[in-house]
Structure 1
Amino acid sequence: MEVRAGCPDWASVYLRHRNGSNKTAHTKLGTTLDLTLKEARTKARQLKAAIALGADPQADARQRKAVPTWNAFFTESYLPHAKQAKRTWKNDADMHRLRLGPRFGATPINRITRQEVQQFHNELREDGLAPATADHHLKLLRHALNLAVDWGMLQVNPAAKVKQFNSENLVERYLSDEEFKRLMRVLRDHENRPMACIVLWLLATGARSGEAKAATWDDIARDQTVWTIRSEHSKSKKRRAVPLNDIARSVLQEIRASGCTSGHLFVGKRGPYKYLSKNWERICEEADLQGLRLHDLRHNYASMLVNSGHSLYEVQQALGHSDPKVTMRYSHLSKESLQGAANSAGDRIKAAMAE
């Protein structure tokens, strides 16, 4: 052993030994503040035995120092990969900037524990985030650390067994007949015609807002009967064709009449739309619609199809779902339709009883 004075009150204790290259090396055992002479000798004997069996304390120390912090791993390894592999990488960057970075940023990724991940997940809910939003943060952490395991930077993913809240997130807002009429009146006379057109388009096609914002005239068939959503703009990453009804075609006619015949379909004062939330909030205020999200227009489109007697398979194809289970959440049936179905069964019973 070797003792090196650090200051008048304490010293560091090292074990001098030969490393794997047969060179003299020194491995720190501790200080005289936390080790007695007996404990230091015991620790030295244990370390010598480990070295004799092939252990390399200095290599282990170098490996520990080489493990990046969460901030370094996310910005230098994960994010460059995500930019190539995910269209939603900006959402990942925002979650890191707002919550994951402040919580785990200075922690080496191999020192993030399952308990810390679980606590972080729970605190997101306590801070008022929706269950689905809290789960998005957990899924990002889990996915990123899975990649760290794949890349040999981490042995075990601490987030692997942390359970999601798995909220069904089935809060759907359907328009009553009166609400629907109010919305139509506002859209008919609204001064922001490009925004009114995009809302009508979403109602008439059941498309996602991102798909509509990315739509161009090149995606519209010459006879204006089909809109092709390119794979890079589709959530499923699959190309799909959307048949256009009379309302959708009337939107195209209005856009053409305004002089916009090339480039993106929906163009505001500052160019193609990037954000719709503020304009959508104004429309809802004018139509006196409470709690209606822009995505709810997709729910209402599916509801109109189902209530008109179309099968779930047809709805699935219209919405572009690869899994029919996803379509089930859009298979809303109005009370009137259910009552009509019940009445038809009752009428048949009555007819049989009368014979």
Structure 2
Amino acid sequence: MELAKKILRKKMTNRDENRHLDVKREINYRMSALIDRYRTHYGSKKLSADREKSILEGIRSELGRLFAREVDGIAVQRWYENLTGVRDLSLGTAVRHFNVMHHMMEKASTIWSKETGLDRNPADQVEVKRPDDARDRYLSEDELRALKIALDERMYRKGTKDLNKTNLRLRLIVLIAVTTGMRSGEIFRLCWSDVMYGEGLLAVRAKLKGGKMRYVPMPPELAVEIRRYPAVIGEDRILPPEPGTRSGRQRVEGSFEDLLARAGIQDFRFHDLRHTFASWYMMKGGDLYELAKILGHSNIKMTERYAKLGRQHIAKTSNIAREVWKLMEQEESDNKSVG
């Protein structure tokens, strides 16, 4: 009886210490082998393959010698904390590293579980702060006007009617982001064949479950801007990498910061243009579920953060309803006077 109690206590202790995974101790599949396998089957096929290779090598350097079955939630938590604490990566970059780790361990605990000895994803036990998703910054009406003025000011070369091609590129990127809610990576992948002028839509090249295509509305004004942009001969992408770019990854940070300075806009990041679109969409009476489709959210909970803006804006316009009520009261008063 006492022995049975000891065994039970040991089981409970192992569970509490996050060592309760149902693994076979004789399975000695190393993390280094898992990393190679994951890269072959998944990492090398992504558009961000070069960046992901660097992330995987970082995981290998810290956890590569361990058996996959030894990498529990505590190990993943420690690795994640080192990204910002030891390697001094920004929170956003650390999240991208974690996403790769999570996806790899998901495969390790499902389709490769017999080889790895894992029956669940240890990364699920780690709480990760996502800076962009926690941020509520969006442009006000005045800031939107200031942004457009700053874009218009450098549309043409100074003193001429020639289009300023450098600023024309930034102009298009910003206008697409703020009027469609597309992510920067999605904008850079846009092709001329994705522009559906007749239907007023842009097809977004993003992988959705079930192979479904995602579409975002294209205002007529944005269609005019896209038509104006010069195409590169032999290139289907609207915004191919500029000459001299070493990798396929494109950035807008420097020129975008200059634009914000000219517009007098502070505490703002490029990703906030996506929040600006979503916020104003809801404040103008948009539907939450339609917004989720436009933004490409797989879970409506990601979109619900904008629901409060819709409610607040409706509450602020209650004075219009009061004016209508006053009109009815006035009409009733006039009828009594006539009587």
TM-score above 0.5:
yes
Query: Corresponding residue for 2:302?
Result: 326
CA distance in 1, matches of 2:105, 2:251: 31
Structure 1 unaligned regions, length at least 5: 1-59
Amino acid at match of 2:77: Q
Query: Corresponding residue for 1:229?
Result: 204
Q: CA deviation at 1:251?
A: 0.8
Query: Corresponding residue for 2:61?
Result: 102
SS of 1:153's equivalent?
A: helix
Q: CA deviation at 1:208?
A: 2.0
Q: Check whether the contact 1:307–1:334 (CA below 8 A) recurs between aligned residues.
A: yes
Q: CA deviation at 1:93?
A: 2.7
1:217 aligns with 2:178: no
Higher-Rg structure is 1
CA distance in 2, matches of 1:244, 1:281: 25
Q: Check whether the contact 1:114–1:158 (CA below 8 A) recurs between aligned residues.
A: no
Query: Corresponding residue for 1:181?
Result: 145
TM-score, reference length from structure 1: 0.64
Structure 2 unaligned regions, length at least 5: 1-23, 155-163, 333-339
Query: Corresponding residue for 2:168?
Result: 193
Deviates more, 1:288-297 or 1:331-340: 331-340
Instruction: Give the direction of change, closer, same or farther, for the CA distance of 1:84–1:241 in structure 2 (3 Å limit).
Output: same
1:264 aligns with 2:240: no
Query: Corresponding residue for 1:207?
Result: 182
Q: CA deviation at 1:182?
A: 2.0
Instruction: Give the direction of change, closer, same or farther, for the CA distance of 1:329–1:92 in structure 2 (3 Å limit).
Output: farther
Query: Corresponding residue for 1:37?
Result: none
CA distance in 1, matches of 2:323, 2:181: 35
Query: Corresponding residue for 2:316?
Result: 340
Query: Corresponding residue for 2:252?
Result: 276
CA distance in 1, matches of 2:184, 2:294: 15
After superposition, the C-alpha distances for 1:123-175 in whole angstroms (9 at most, x for unaligned) are 44545667776565455445434534543332236862762225463212111
- Which is richer in strand? 1
After superposition, the C-alpha distances for 1:178-213 in whole angstroms (9 at most, x for unaligned) are 322221122112342111112112222222222221
Query: Corresponding residue for 1:71?
Result: 32
Q: Which of 287, 292, 298 is the matching residue for 2:268?
A: 292
1:153 aligns with 2:153: no
Instruction: Give the direction of change, closer, same or farther, for the CA distance of 1:220–1:260 in structure 2 (3 Å limit).
Output: farther
CA distance in 2, matches of 1:245, 1:328: 24
Within 5 Å, give how 1:8-27 maps onto structure 2: none
Q: Check whether the contact 1:214–1:264 (CA below 8 A) recurs between aligned residues.
A: yes
Say which structure, 1 or 2, has more relative contact order (CA 8 Å, 6+ apart): 2
CA distance in 2, matches of 1:196, 1:314: 27
- Which is richer in helix? 2
Deviates more, 1:239-248 or 1:218-227: 218-227
RMSD: 4.0
Identity among equivalent positions (%) equals 23
CA distance in 2, matches of 1:131, 1:261: 38
Q: CA deviation at 1:301?
A: 1.2
Query: Corresponding residue for 2:41?
Result: 81
Q: Check whether the contact 1:228–1:241 (CA below 8 A) recurs between aligned residues.
A: yes
Q: Which of 223, 243, 266 is the matching residue for 1:249?
A: 223
TM-score, reference length from structure 2: 0.67
Q: Check whether the contact 2:188–2:250 (CA below 8 A) recurs between aligned residues.
A: yes
Query: Corresponding residue for 1:310?
Result: 286
Query: Corresponding residue for 1:119?
Result: 78
Q: Check whether the contact 2:76–2:122 (CA below 8 A) recurs between aligned residues.
A: no
Instruction: Give the direction of change, closer, same or farther, for the CA distance of 1:352–1:221 in structure 2 (3 Å limit).
Output: closer
CA distance in 1, matches of 2:314, 2:177: 26
Q: CA deviation at 1:333?
A: 2.4
Deviates more, 1:150-159 or 1:295-304: 150-159
